[in-house]
Amino acid sequence: MYLNFSHRLENLPPYLFIELDRLKAEAIREGRDVIDLGVGDPDLPTPQSIVQELSRQAGKKGNQHYPSNKGLPEFRQAISNWYERRFNLSLNPDTEILPLIGSKEGIAHLPLAFINPRDLVLLPDPAYPVYRSGTILAGGIPYPLPLLKENNFLPELNKIKRGIARKAKLLFLNYPNNPTAAVAPEEFLEEIVNFAKKYNIVVCYDNAYSEIAFNGYRPKSFLETKGARDVGVEFHSLSKTYNMTGWRIGWVCGQEKIIDALAKIKSNIDSGIFLAIQRAGIVALKEVEPQKIYERRKNILVEGLRKLSWNVQEPKATFYLWVHLPSGFSSSLEFSQTLLKEKNIIVSPGVGFGSSGEGYFRIALTVSEEKIKEAINRVVGMRNGT
């Protein structure tokens, strides 16, 4: 049978982590001792109080039913309380908050609510790949905004041609940023709001790493910026903050008409999050302190690589390091393959996050201090970064 796939399927870029998983599986099959600094998936277990609440709730009568599409009111209230505590912002749990089956789900579905064929979506490059794939699945055209070191990995809004800005419907942004670990200054967020208002563009701000920050730095919510609540929404996730990547729970909050539009799309696709997981999510938001483990790991890695004269920038937030390729390498893919072959270390090639990511690789701090130290020992003698 000849399968006639849709253009949208054929237009999807290959998903970076699938290829990395394949390479890793091969190395493990060969019995090699691989240190995986590739995927941003916390290594530590979910805190006990959250797991215990799930166990309590899993068999409770009533929790087996279809959950409401809008999410459990108590979970929305817990999100609202968390926002109030964390950002001093008051969000209406009925209209301004929508639970998601992981923030990835909402990010991928949101373009379906706004994009007609060939509409433009402005998105960072390099970036979390789902901004691009969600755009393509909705029939839109991704318009990449390069994130360059000389601009502190912030997009240059004044370089976007007026004709492009006029055609754009959505703008995706993510700070603290995956993969560059950059953070957004307040003036930049103000600039974003003005730009969005001028061109009538919906801002989709991804704040998945807001709780992983170092040396006293406290990332802001985009919604704290004056005017932001008129033009955008913010995605959050329990995944990284509470070691819950496999649980699939997050939320989006902000402008109520945007939230409502996404809720309408979702009501035709999914049936919400298992009630027991939402109840465990309440415990996470109410009682559990975000992970503090990454600061020490970051210090060890930055110090270790600097001793080897690698040129690494110390991140203020996220559990990533975005590092220049060592001299002698021009392809991030080639570098990652070499590192795996010769040193049994997995890192993410920068090009997997977009063409402007070429020349870099990403290290995730999601392994123990011992493994980080071992990884540093393994790269002694490699040509250093520039």
Residues that bind ligand PLP (CB under 6 A): 40, 102-104, 128, 174, 178, 206, 208, 237, 239, 245, 250
Strand partners, 385: 326
Name which of 199 and 319 has its Cβ closer to ligand PLP: 319
- Please report the sign of the dihedral spanned by the C-alpha atoms of residue 40, residue 41, residue 42, residue 48: positive
Name which of 138 and 181 has its Cβ closer to ligand PLP: 181
Shortest Å distance, C-beta 7 to ligand PLP = 26
Shortest Å distance, C-beta 15 to ligand PLP = 12
State how far the Cα of 17 lies from the Cα of 344, in Å rounded to an integer: 17
State how far the Cα of 20 lies from the Cα of 364, in Å rounded to an integer: 13
Shortest Å distance, C-beta 279 to ligand PLP = 18
Name which of 249 and 339 has its Cβ closer to ligand PLP: 249
Q: Taking a C-beta distance cutoff of 8 angstroms, is the pair 56, 277 a contact?
A: no
Name which of 278 and 385 has its Cβ closer to ligand PLP: 278
With CA atoms as reference, report the closest residue to 261 among 172, 127, 143, 170: 170
Shortest Å distance, C-beta 250 to ligand PLP = 4
Shortest Å distance, C-beta 40 to ligand PLP = 5
Name which of 53 and 206 has its Cβ closer to ligand PLP: 206
Strand partners, 205: 173, 234
Strands 35-36 and 232-237: unpaired
Name which of 15 and 226 has its Cβ closer to ligand PLP: 15
Buried b (16+ CB within 10 A) or exposed e, 108-139: bbbbbbbbeeebbbbbbbbbbbbbbbbbbbbb
Shortest Å distance, C-beta 240 to ligand PLP = 7
Shortest Å distance, C-beta 318 to ligand PLP = 8
Name which of 97 and 379 has its Cβ closer to ligand PLP: 97
Helix or strand or coil: residue 340? helix
Written as one letter, the residue type at 119 is D
Shortest Å distance, C-beta 170 to ligand PLP = 15
- Please report the sign of the dihedral spanned by the C-alpha atoms of residue 69, residue 73, residue 76, residue 78: negative
90: left (phi over 0), alpha (psi -120 to 50) or beta: beta
Please calculate the CA angle 81-86-91 and round it to the nearest 5 degrees.
45
Name which of 57 and 103 has its Cβ closer to ligand PLP: 103
Q: Taking a C-beta distance cutoff of 8 angstroms, is the pair 87, 224 a contact?
A: yes
